[in-house]
Amino acid sequence: MKMYLISDNVDTYTGMRLAGVDGVIVHEREELYDALQRVMQDKETGIVLLTEKLGREFPEMIDEIRLERKLPLLIEIPDRHGTGRKKDFITSYVNEAIGLKL
């Protein structure tokens, strides 16, 4: 299975290309939609990497695909500026998901 990157910046795209991951740079909603539709058609792609910024800007589009399809797996990754998530992201996620306070 292949990985594919959908990034909002050149630096992340370049770094992933150096690691052998193909991808595309998008900035607008329509560009993201088109890129996702293209990659969904490729049966060899098992993981789609998205920069966190795209996940924050277009969560409804990403969530819809995650709910409707098992593959490819959509993974949000930080860009060169680091993560946009809070330090206790995992703990708060578990708290929300199962109702346990850690």
pLDDT in tens, 39-66: 999 999 999 999 998 988 999 999 888 8
Give percent above pLDDT 70 in the chain.
83
Give percent above pLDDT 90 in the chain.
54
At 93 the pLDDT is 62
Question: Whole-model pTM above 0.95?
Answer: no
Written as six digits, the tokens of 86 are: 């809070």
Domains in the chain with CATH codes: 2-98 (3.40.50.10580)
39 burial (CB, 10 Å; 0-12 / 13-18 / 19+) is buried
Three-state SS for 80-95 is CCECCCCCCHHHHHHH
